[in-house]
């Protein structure tokens, strides 16, 4: 008899537990529409990104502090950003002189061919 009870407990336990979980899932309480709307409103307020209300983090503070090193870094970054513009302006000012010298002789269209001295 004890073996039969043990077998009933081992085999029937998971079945009863599964039935209880299925019953709980099917019969769970559905929240009213008003409660759902309030929850969604609270979640929206919780995850809003307002920079005014948000306290400054350590990363924000470190990024925004003004020290001689950060001023020097910003000046160097600005100088490097301006270099291509300065180079472009310099090339525009010296454009005719910056053309490379032609390796071949130039010809005028429709002109008679030049006679070379090697013929």
Give 20-58 pLDDT, tens digit per residue: 999 998 888 787 888 889 998 888 888 875 555 556 677
The confidence score (pLDDT) of residue 50 equals: 58
Higher-confidence residue of 31 and 79: namely 79
The confidence score (pLDDT) of residue 54 equals: 59
* Average pLDDT, rounded, for the chain: 78
Higher-confidence residue of 96 and 68: namely 68
d(CA 115, CA 64): 73
d(CA 103, CA 115): 18
How many percent of the chain have pLDDT more than 90? 11
In contact, 91 and 98? CB cutoff 8 Å: yes
How many percent of the chain have pLDDT more than 70? 71
The confidence score (pLDDT) of residue 57 equals: 74
d(CA 108, CA 114): 10
Give first-to-last CA distance, the chain, whole Å. 127
- Which DSSP symbol is given to 26? H
d(CA 59, CA 53): 17
Question: Of the ranges 5-14, 26-35, 46-55, 88-97, which one carries the lowest mean pLDDT score?
Answer: 46-55
Closest CA to 115 of 41, 107, 7, 16: 107
């Amino acid at each position: 008899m004890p073996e039969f009870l043990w077998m009933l407990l081992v085999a029937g336990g998971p079945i009863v537990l599964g039935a209880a979980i299925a019953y709980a899932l099917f019969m769970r309480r559905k929240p009213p529409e008003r409660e759902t709307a309030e929850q969604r409103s609270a979640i929206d307020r919780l995850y809003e990104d307002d920079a005014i209300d948000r306290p400054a983090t350590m990363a924000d503070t470190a990024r925004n502090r003004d020290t001689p090193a950060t001023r020097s870094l910003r000046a160097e970054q600005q100088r490097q950003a301006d270099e291509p513009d300065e180079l472009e302006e310099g090339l525009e000012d010296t454009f005719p002189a910056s053309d490379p010298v032609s390796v071949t002789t130039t010809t005028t269209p429709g002109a008679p061919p030049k006679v070379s001295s090697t013929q």
